[in-house]
Chain A
Amino acid sequence: QKEVEQNSGPLSVPEGAIASLNCTYSDRGSQSFFWYRQYSGKSPELIMSIYSNGDKEDGRFTAQLNKASQYVSLLIRDSQPSDSATYLCACPSGSARQLTFGSGTQLTVLP
């Protein structure tokens, strides 16, 4: 079993809707979680980090962490076509200097 699992999608939502992206992880000791956005052919870009249970909001983005369920999610409110990208969930593993990534969820926001 991969350490970080994401629903691979693809996920399509209409413009203005809420996009919900989900991730589960296997290491109960994981303390930090990251969401990256990767446009096609471009590098991953960090958009959210979360370290404690609950919600963390940044503009239209909300990250949610539930350590008991080993579940982390990303909500994008008022989705825009420019949000169309692959979203990668990641957490530290191994030497703790490694990031383990999920396989990504491809999101398309339809105008």
Chain B
Amino acid sequence: GAGVSQSPRYKVAKRGQDVALRCDPISGHVSLFWYQQALGQGPEFLTYFQNEAQLDKSGLPSDRFFAERPEGSVSTLKIQRTQKEDSAVYLCASSLGQELNTIYFGEGSWLTVV
């Protein structure tokens, strides 16, 4: 497809389970971002990749959160030992270069931890 694709769209996890969220950016896009959006809030930055290099992971809330982009295209956000406070929409975004005005967001993975 032409846009940023995320899967799964919806995920229900039991507390303590590990989850993996996948992002397929727009083909050729160098920059890839992960954001977390809680209900009724704006997105909050988690991490940024330029190609395969993770240049900023300052927004990851704990060491239970891990992201990778091994070949510089598809990215996976992994959350270990999920907690209820991890329930949110996880948005992936990509851009061709470094300009912030050309970022395209995917529709998100909705995670509910029960």
Contacts and interface: CB of A to CB of B under 8 A. Distances in A.
Contacts of A45: 105
A98 B56 contact: yes
A92 B56 CA distance: 14
Contacts of A32: 100-101
Interface in A37-69: 41-46, 49
Interface residues of B, number: 23
Contacts, number: 58
Given A34-B101, A44-B91, A88 B42 contact: yes
Output the residue of B43, B56, B58 with the most chain A CB within 10 A: B43
A99 B55 CA distance: 15
B40 A98 contact: no
B42 A102 contact: yes
A4 B42 CA distance: 10
B2 to A, nearest CB: 13
Nearest to A42: B107
Contact of A92 (B41, B43, B100, B108): B100
A44 B43 contact: yes
Contact of A104 (B33, B42, B44, B59): B42
Contact of B101 (A41, A49, A94, A97): A49
B82 interface: no
Closest 9 CB pairs of A and B: A101-B42, A43-B105, A98-B45, A49-B101, A95-B56, A43-B107, A97-B48, A103-B42, A88-B42
Interface of B: 4, 31, 33, 40-45, 48, 55-56, 58-59, 91, 98, 100-101, 103, 105-108
Interface of A: 4, 32, 34, 41-46, 49, 88, 90, 92, 94-95, 97-104
6 contacts: A88-B42, A94-B45, A97-B31, A97-B33, A98-B59, A99-B100
